[in-house]
Chains A and B, each alone.
Chain A
Amino acid sequence: MSGALLIARRELRAYLRSPFGYIVAAALLLIDGLLFQAFALGGGARLSADVLHDFFYFASGTTMVASILLSMRLLAEERQTGTLVLLNTAPVPDSSIVIGKFLSAFVFVVLLTALTAYMPLLILVNGKVSLGHIAVGYLGLLLLGAASVAIGLFGSALARSQVLAAIIGAAVLVTMLLLWIVARVTDPPLNTFLAALALHNERQNAFMRGLLRLEDVVYYLAVTYFFLLAATKTLEARRWR
């Protein structure tokens, strides 16, 4: 485990020392701010809870994009520059490498998400929403972020280049997002299964409305675990090639 923390710390420092991390952060905050201004605040008088719901809706989109962008480099870049060997030949299990990488990108996503807090706080001060609604909405964002980072990391474990990693990650993510549409044109009982498997639609909606359901939390944790496991197995398999 100490190996994982060591790798996470180094990786997080790499985000903070490269322009890339700041560019992703700035873009995310800018787009979140613009969407908040234009859609959540714009247009007539509305319930504060609806405005907050809309904020979380936009923020969930940017969180997913940022997660894929931040995680695409995690393993693919090291493979490109040849530094992965350092980790591969250290007495550190592949699972620790994956967990360390995941933690670094996830902590960065947490930091980014924390920086958006001024928007819900504006609603809290000027309108009427509960702190609980805000907290649950953020929990949903972070769980979605964790799952998206895990998906991106899996793409990064498969690919040789960062671009390919991002494409694989995005493809898996979008496929999981679209499962609810597939569910609509599928017969029961398959459609309930597919709808439950979809990454955003039903799952995230509950969080956005301030509704905390254990099954949604378990779902996101399970997706995260599954893709981290897949990334670990991919790394292990590459040694046999």
Chain B
Amino acid sequence: MIEVRELYKYYGEHRAAGPLSFSIEKGEIVGLLGLNGAGKTTALRVLACDLLPSSGTVMVDGIDVVDQPHEVRRRIGYLPDTPPLYGEMTVHEFLVFAARLRGLSASDADGRARSVEEAAQLEGVRDELISSLSHGFRQRVGIAQAVVHRPRLLILDEPISGLDPVQIVEMRQLLRTLRGEHTIVLSSHILTEISETCDRLLVLGEGRIVAAGTEEELSRDLRGGAQVELSVRTDDAAGAREVLSKVEGVRRVEPLAPRETGPRVVSFRVEAERDVREAACRALVEARLVVLEIVRRKNELESIFLRLTGADGAERGRNSDDRGSAS
């Protein structure tokens, strides 16, 4: 569906994005993650044919964005970080305008506008001026205009930012309903916002991809395994630790502050190559220890993100900068 090869985008001397190479399959939902200034918006604007790449190729459905931008634009729906809305139009007028701008006939445009109003739950404000709408509604009108011409590819720049918790839930539901019909690329600087919605994540740092994969793959790459926390009741903490460290796959056992109150409670954090809850539990029971609690700790998404785009990302970013100025 999308094929990006060695894409660079410069604003004057400043490298905003690149080198970027990735491909996205039909029907996927892919999230672009990165801090502000990481190049997400630039990458999306190039995909959306708003900007042209400085070098490299971007193909959508096998069509080059530089050679045939209009063919690509017909296939794309784009929601920029600020929804492009004309305040003096009503919601319905605006959606009809957006549909006709992308080549739909007058009657098709009206029908499509009505159906996306329904999908985005905008029927109630159909005849209201856009300037009078709240932020959440505007964001929904923004998504509605992006899908009104049934694009194959949907590009959403920070669709969830600035919404309140209720609106976030609604927005996620809306994205889920769009899933079947469209291939979706969306961006965010908050991992938890999009990790639920996306099949795959591309993490950007300083204009290039520093990590890619599913949320689980990213966690595994980073931590290189699973973390288990457990509490046992015993007088012999050292013995319990000994038992745990002999379980197959365990790399390290660290004592923790007791995770619950009560007599003789001892807690540990176990770092292992994989999820070792079953094996650890069996080993402890065989050693006649009472297991009070055993949990697999889900990786803190935010911390992954910080590690990916923080020190590590900056380091690699600098290297690519050197390459950029040398070439």
Contact = CB atoms under 8 A, between A and B. Distances in A.
Contacts of A86: 84, 98, 101, 145
Interface string A4-35: 00110010011001100000000000000000
A91 B63 CA distance: 14
Contacts of B51: 239-241
B25 interface: no
Contact of A17 (B49, B54, B88): B88
A82 B84 CA distance: 6
A41 interface: no
Q: Per DSSP, are chain B's interface residues mostly helix, strand or loop, or mixed? A: loop
Interface in B91-128: 97-98, 100-103
- Interface residues on chain B, size class: 20 to 34
Contacts of B223: none
Contacts of A92: 70, 101
A90 interface: yes
A235 to B, nearest CB: 12
A93 B12 CA distance: 25
Contacts of A241: 11-12, 51
B294 interface: no
A83 B85 contact: yes
A89 B102 CA distance: 9
Contacts of B49: 88-89
B86 interface: yes
Interface string A71-111: 00000000001111111111111000000000000000000
Q: Per DSSP, are chain A's interface residues mostly helix, strand or loop, or mixed? A: helix
A85 B50 contact: yes
Contact of B48 (A82, A89, A93): A89
B101 A3 contact: yes
Contacts of B71: 91
Given A18-B88, A91-B102, 14 more contacts: A6-B100, A7-B101, A10-B89, A81-B84, A82-B82, A83-B85, A85-B50, A86-B145, A89-B50, A89-B76, A89-B78, A90-B101, A239-B52, A241-B11
Nearest to A90: B101
Interface of B: 11-12, 48-52, 54, 70-71, 73-74, 76, 78, 80, 82, 84-86, 88-89, 97-98, 100-103, 145
Contacts, number: 62
- Lowest 6 CB-CB distances: which A-B pairs, in order? A86-B84, A91-B70, A91-B73, A82-B82, A83-B84, A90-B101
- Interface residues on chain A, size class: 20 to 34
Contact of A239 (B12, B50, B89, B97): B50
Given A82-B80, A82-B82, A240 B52 contact: yes
B140 to A, nearest CB: 16
A85 B101 contact: no
A13 B101 contact: no
A71 B153 CA distance: 35
Contacts of A6: 97, 100-101
Contacts of B54: 240
Select the residue from A82, A85, A239 with max chain B CB neighbours within 10 A.
A85
A87 B48 CA distance: 12
Select the residue from A14, A86, A90 with max chain B CB neighbours within 10 A.
A86
Nearest to A86: B84
Contacts of A87: 101
